Amino acid sequence: MKDVINFKEWFLQKHNTFEDSLNGENTYLMHQIRKEALENFNELPLPTLKDEDWRYTNISPLLKYNFNIVTKDAKISNDTIQNYRFNNLKSHLIVFVNGQFSAENSKLLNLPNGVVIGSLSDAIKNNPEIVEKYFNKNTTNNHQIFAALSTAYTKDGAFIYVPEGKIVEDPIHIIFITSSKDEKIITQPRNLFIAGKNSQLTIIEHYISDKENIYFTNAVTEIIVNENAVVDHVKLQEESKNAFHIARMEVGQERNSNFTSHSISLGGALTRNNINALFNDEGSECTLNGLFLIEGEQLFDVHTLIDHAKPLCNSHEHYIGILDNKARGVFNGKVLVRPDAQKTNAFQKNKNIILSDQALINTKPELEIFADDVKCSHGATIGQMDEEAKFYLRSRGIADKTATAILIRAFSSDVIKSIKIKQIRNYLDELLSKRFSQ
Amino acid sequence: MLEIKNLHVNINGSKILNGVNLKVNAGEVHALMGPNGSGKSTLALVLAGREDYKVTEGEVLYNGKNLLDLSPEDRAREGIFLAFQYPVEIPGVSNVNLLKTAVNEIRKYNGEEELDAIDFLDLIKEKMKLVELDQSFLKRSVNEGFSGGEKKRNEIFQMAVLNPRLAILDETDSGLDIDAIKVVANGVNKLRSKDNATIVVTHYQRLLNYIIPDFVHVLYNGRIVKSGGKELAMELEEKGYDWIKNGSEEVVSG
């Protein structure tokens, strides 16, 4: 057994090798951004249970490994990818294998003029002015150690640019697949989505793996929703149950924009999602919904922040947790209504069901309201399987497991039915019935 | 069809049934009456398979099989149906989804092919007429926000769709007005046949004006203390249960 090098030390050491592996992506600007982020990474402490934001999530299991940085291409068959596509849904497909864009697995449909869908590494080469304008503009990234790590190792990820007035009708299905044999690797997808004024698009970020391996996904997604644009975002995590997954999504909304997020997760060994939505201007709408289903000894943690910095915006949030065995969940939903943000409507709900004696959920709504003419509400519930309802279903001839699946589906229905794409709803129904008929 | 022999049942350690004996043949309607707390609903729920009700003694044979060995779902698949006294509300599960799943699981169990969407809908529509339910009802969540009458009609509707061999109606008449009772009774009567049997559990004689029983039994203190024909129900209505209570003490002491 080789000794494990200190987590931070390891990534500081590997950075030179990483930059050497870059080709056209290594522009002077990107080099500067990476270098600065690496310095931040070096200075920021690793989170511990003493940090309020990490009180219930101990990252020490993650620190037990030195994850290798992938520099060479891996191949995945189209058949493998096909298993994770949605039946009867016409969509653009872009695939990343171990964090790197795979042209041979990807397939785009016809696109309106000026729309760019592809990889960040191509965008750095071909659209440097757009990347420069929007990349890593959210300053909170600089204060988060995992975001700093992502920025320092920026190489590839999904890039979408929809110019003013363009509508991308078919959803964009982005698959991130991790495929490694015995090697423990880190992949750091770095996604940048820009919706121009009056544009519209639907994005599906889908994280999968071909084996139940140990690896680390450290993802950062930045979404810019310009004036009157509509962005519908779905994230689906169906990864290895041994994977570590830390992800940050930063959403910036301009005037009258509309952003919807659905985050559906079957968890990994340790999953931490941070979702931050910021209203930069008036009249916008933001929906953050999520569903997580965890079992075994999985840990799933979601922290959301909706920042009502401007007046006349509406936010809706609904997270549902389903926990079995010894799984542990964390929901921390912060809604900040700044002094300026009059006529804010902000509604939050978190509902959890515990299927065993040993599962645990920590739920914490956090409303900070500094304006006086607002409507805000929050509610959190934790319950158990309704045995009366289950007996009722069984007394009608429905098998125990089917009855459980039906009730879990019903419990999840508020979040599932709010997903606009029917084919994804069907996919989730199947996922649920598979999960509970084991 | 059903033979209950010396059945003793405990709930959370307290004795509720104290040696119930009852035999029900195909084609018969039995009324099970008795004062509140006599164990009527317990008996109904034990037959349906409530797992937290502990059978401490006795046996139940159903078409020659040991009923108590079967899971609740297998009992339903073998043709037992319980119309609940308090039907459970299940938000997020539609009536049509429950019935479709139930019908097909029962068919699968009995080696029959699953019904396709069209055949299923035909079946549903036919049975809905029986209990005078509106189409819009199908998409609503099971019993959620239903009035008392709607809940009871829903039980009879489910019974009609599942077409059981042995139906147990647990106080289906409680709290219903006379029009609703007629609808429920009419539903039950249309389903009567020489091949199936019904146990009507009730506190009041009123329902038995519309569902005419072949036998009437009185349950008291967890035992059947008196059995007779339909005229027994009339007698109970007239004299109340005190007469039975006093009588049963005689039985016990004698």
pLDDT digits (tens, 9 = 90+) for A145-193: 999 999 999 999 999 999 999 999 999 999 999 998 778 999 999 999 9
Instruction: Tell whether B146 is within 8 A of chain A (Cβ).
Output: no
Q: B71–A394: do the CB atoms touch at under 8 Å?
A: yes
Which residues numbered 104-133 in B keep a CB inside 8 Å of some CB on A? 105-106, 109
Residue A358 is classified by DSSP as S
Q: In what order do the strands lie in the sheet with A345-354?
A: A100-107, A92-97, A172-178, A200-209, A230-238, A258-265, A285-294, A314-323, A345-354, A375-384
- Which amino acid would we find at residue A327? A
Domain membership flag for residue A267: yes
Which residues numbered 328-387 in A keep a CB inside 8 Å of some CB on B? 386
Domain membership flag for residue A72: yes
Q: A398–B87: do the CB atoms touch at under 8 Å?
A: no
B91 contacts in chain A (CB < 8 Å) = 410
A391 contacts in chain B (CB < 8 Å) = 49-51, 72, 88
Chain B residue closest to A407 (CA)? B93
**For position B247, what pLDDT does the model report?**
59
Last residue of a domain, one of A247, A262, A281: A281
Q: Which two tokens stand for residue A206?
A: 């889908």
Q: B49–A394: do the CB atoms touch at under 8 Å?
A: yes
Q: Which long-range contacts (CB under 8 A, 24 or more apart) does A182-186 make?
A: A183/A68, A184/A65, A184/A66, A184/A67, A184/A68, A184/A213, A184/A214, A184/A215, A184/A216, A185/A67, A185/A68, A185/A69, A185/A70, A185/A98, A185/A215, A185/A216, A186/A67, A186/A68, A186/A69, A186/A70, A186/A215, A186/A216, A186/A217, A186/A218
| Secondary structure E strands in B71-222 | 80-83, 90-94, 141-142, 166-170, 197-202, 215-220
Domain membership flag for residue A324: no
Q: A397–B162: do the CB atoms touch at under 8 Å?
A: yes
| Same-domain pairing of A48 and A178 | yes
The kind and range of the H/E element at A410 are helix A400-416
| Secondary structure E strands in A90-243 | 92-97, 100-107, 116-119, 158-162, 172-178, 185-187, 190-195, 200-209, 216-225, 230-238
- The string of pLDDT tens digits covering residues A346-377 is 999 999 999 999 999 999 999 999 999 999 99
B50 contacts in chain A (CB < 8 Å) = 391
DSSP letter for each residue of B13-78:
TEEEEEEEEEEE-TT-EEEEE--TTSSHHHHHHHHHT-TTEEEEEEEEEETTEEGGGS-HHHHHHT
Q: A402–B101: do the CB atoms touch at under 8 Å?
A: yes
What is the least distance, in Å, from the CA of A102 to any CA of chain B? 41
With CA atoms as reference, report the closest residue to A177 among A93, A298, A263.
A93
Domain membership flag for residue A423: yes
- CB contact at 8 A, A321 and A353: yes
B166 contacts in chain A (CB < 8 Å) = none
Upper half-sphere CA count for residue A432 (Cβ side, 13 Å): 23
Instruction: Tell whether A405 is within 8 A of chain B (Cβ).
Output: no
User: What is the distance between the alpha carbons of residues A39 and A62, in angstroms, rounded to a whole number?
Assistant: 21
Strand B215-220 relative to strand B223-228, pairing: antiparallel
Q: Other CB atoms closer than 10 Å to residue A44's CB: what's the count?
A: 17
Q: A395–B88: do the CB atoms touch at under 8 Å?
A: no
Substitution target from A392, A404, A436, A437 for chain B, most B beta carbons within 10 A: A392
Domain membership flag for residue A107: yes
Which residues numbered 199-218 in B keep a CB inside 8 Å of some CB on A? none
Strand partners, B2: B24, B62
| Same-domain pairing of A276 and A407 | no
Instruction: Tell whether B151 is within 8 A of chain A (Cβ).
Output: no
Q: Compute CA distances A182 → A185, A189, A214, A239, B193, whole Å.
A: 9, 21, 9, 16, 67
**For position A438, what pLDDT does the model report?**
61
Q: Which two tokens stand for residue B64?
A: 């020659």
What is the least distance, in Å, from the CA of B236 to any CA of chain A? 32
- CB contact at 8 A, A158 and A189: yes
Substitution target from B51, B53, B93, B140 for chain A, most A beta carbons within 10 A: B93
Q: B88–A400: do the CB atoms touch at under 8 Å?
A: no
Domain membership flag for residue A293: no
User: What is the distance between the alpha carbons of residues A256 and A279, in angstroms, rounded to a whole number?
Assistant: 10
DSSP letter for each residue of A242-295:
T-EEEEEEEEEE-TT-EEEEEEEE---SEEEEEEEEEE-SSS-EEEEEEEEEE-
Strand partners, B57: B8
Q: What's the first-to-final CA gap in chain B, in angstroms?
A: 32
User: What is the distance between the alpha carbons of residues A235 and A171, in angstroms, rounded to a whole number?
Assistant: 13
Residue A159 is classified by DSSP as E
**For position B248, what pLDDT does the model report?**
53
- CB contact at 8 A, A249 and A280: no
What is the least distance, in Å, from the CA of B90 to any CA of chain A? 6
Last residue of a domain, one of A258, A281, A304: A281
Against a cut of 0.95, is the pTM above it? no
| Same-domain pairing of A111 and A228 | yes
Strand A92-97 relative to strand A100-107, pairing: antiparallel
A392 → closest Cβ in B71, B75, B88: B88
**For position B250, what pLDDT does the model report?**
45
Q: A391–B72: do the CB atoms touch at under 8 Å?
A: yes
Q: What are phi and psi of A361, to 5 degrees?
A: -130, 135
B73 → closest Cβ in A386, A388, A400: A400
With CA atoms as reference, report the closest residue to A325 among A388, A241, A263.
A241
With CA atoms as reference, report the closest residue to B39 among B191, B217, B229.
B217
User: What is the distance between the alpha carbons of residues A202 and A219, in angstroms, rounded to a whole number?
Assistant: 19
Upper half-sphere CA count for residue B105 (Cβ side, 13 Å): 25
Q: A413–B72: do the CB atoms touch at under 8 Å?
A: no
Contacts of A344 (CB under 8 A, 6+ apart): A308, A311, A312, A313, A314, A315, A337, A371, A374, A375, A376
How does pLDDT run along chain B (254 residues), one tens digit per residue? 999 999 999 999 899 999 999 999 999 999 999 888 899 999 999 999 999 899 999 999 999 999 999 999 999 999 999 999 999 999 999 999 999 999 999 999 999 999 999 999 999 999 998 888 888 889 999 999 998 888 999 999 999 999 999 999 999 988 888 888 888 898 889 888 999 999 999 988 888 999 999 999 999 999 999 999 988 988 888 888 887 776 554 444 33
Which residues constitute the domain of residue A225? 7-281
Q: B109–A389: do the CB atoms touch at under 8 Å?
A: no
Instruction: Tell whether B90 is within 8 A of chain A (Cβ).
Output: yes
**For position A139, what pLDDT does the model report?**
72
3 state DSSP class of A416? helix
In chain A, % of residues over pLDDT 90? 90
| Same-domain pairing of A271 and A393 | no
**For position A355, what pLDDT does the model report?**
95
| Same-domain pairing of A277 and A402 | no
Last residue of a domain, one of A255, A281, A307: A281
B49 contacts in chain A (CB < 8 Å) = 391, 394-395
Give the position of tokens 């009157």: A228
Instruction: Tell whether B54 is within 8 A of chain A (Cβ).
Output: no
| Same-domain pairing of A275 and A392 | no
Q: What is the dihedral of CA A82, A87, A91, A96, to 10 degrees?
A: -30
Total domain count, chain A: 2
Q: B77–A397: do the CB atoms touch at under 8 Å?
A: yes
User: What is the distance between the alpha carbons of residues A199 and A286, in angstroms, rounded to a whole number?
Assistant: 16
A410 contacts in chain B (CB < 8 Å) = 90-93, 141
Domain membership flag for residue A351: no
Q: B82–A389: do the CB atoms touch at under 8 Å?
A: no
B140 contacts in chain A (CB < 8 Å) = none
Q: Is A104 exposed, middle or buried (0-12, 13-18, 19+ CB in 10 A)?
A: exposed
**For position A2, what pLDDT does the model report?**
63
Q: Which two tokens stand for residue B166?
A: 């042995």
- State chain A's mean pLDDT as an integer: 95
Instruction: Tell whether B77 is within 8 A of chain A (Cβ).
Output: yes
Chain B residue closest to A406 (CA)? B93
| Same-domain pairing of A391 and A273 | no
Domain membership flag for residue A292: no
| Same-domain pairing of A267 and A402 | no
Q: A399–B73: do the CB atoms touch at under 8 Å?
A: yes
